[in-house]
Homo-oligomer: A and B are copies of this chain.
Amino acid sequence: MTPVKNIPRHQKLYEVLRKHISDGLYREGDLLPSENELCHLFGMTRPTVRQALSTLANDGYIKKHQGKGSIVHHLPREIGILSVSGTTSAIGDRNLQTDIIIRPVLIPWPDNFIFPLSEIEKESGCIYMERLRFLEGVPIFYDITHIANMNLPRITSRQFENRSLFMILREHYHIEIKGVEQRIKAIPASLKISRFLNLKKGEPVLHLERKLETNNPVLFLYSSIFCNTEKYSIFGRF
């Protein structure tokens, strides 16, 4: 079986431009090459180019202006956890350090799980892990992840330190994140949470419960994230 090669051309262009913006090749306020320029730069037609730009605009990388062009948006300096891409890629690998609290282990699903589970998920058991993420030495995220144990061989023995879970899933298991459903609350820190996030018990903590959909229609990732928003905010753009 040959490796995945049939990446659509619009997606390819999207990734190139996205990388250029992330790398700072195009800076905030810059005008991207016009659609027609991109067309014969990359040898594709305008609808294809427009699809790539549309996705970029949707993800908040650019802003389109009729008659003017596509303007590069300033990248969120804050923590872009509201984006689908996963924290590591959004904030940059350099600044976000990840500690593994509990290595991936196989456990039965907890009773009264936060999200309803399908029969297939219940039968396969679940992979559990806990991570703590630091930004400039300050603990920001305490992250509990549940994944159904379906076709993920040897995942319990992989190295997750300073690597995005999304990246590992993508490179080793060809799993892509397709969508997110999430609930956000402000809760008082429990004793456990307060210790991890270096706060006092009862201090406000942002709690996100996320269900991530993948390209495998029966495989979901569930994560419960506790954020210390004392210094940083969660950032989102639409």
Contact = CB atoms under 8 A, between A and B. Distances in A.
Given A58-B58, A203-B188, A204-B188, A183 B237 contact: no
Interface in A13-66: 47, 58, 63
Copies per complex of this chain: 2
A93 interface: no
B184 A187 contact: no
A184 B206 contact: yes
Contacts of A156: none
Contacts of A205: 186, 204
Given A204-B204, A204-B205, A238 B184 contact: no
A206 B185 contact: yes
Given A181-B235, A184-B236, 10 more contacts: A63-B179, A84-B238, A179-B237, A179-B238, A180-B238, A181-B236, A183-B233, A184-B229, A186-B206, A202-B202
A95 interface: no
14 contacts: A179-B237, A179-B238, A181-B235, A181-B237, A182-B235, A183-B234, A184-B236, A185-B233, A185-B234, A186-B205, A186-B206, A186-B207, A187-B229, A202-B202
The main secondary structure of chain A at its interface with chain B is: strand
A82 interface: yes
A199 B158 CA distance: 45
A182 B236 CA distance: 5
Contacts of A84: 238
A61 to B, nearest CB: 13
B58 A227 contact: no
Nearest to A235: B183
Given A63-B179, A186-B186, A229-B185, A82 B236 contact: yes
B187 A204 contact: yes
Contacts of A181: 235-237
A157 B226 CA distance: 43
A78 interface: yes
B187 A186 contact: yes
A78 B183 contact: yes
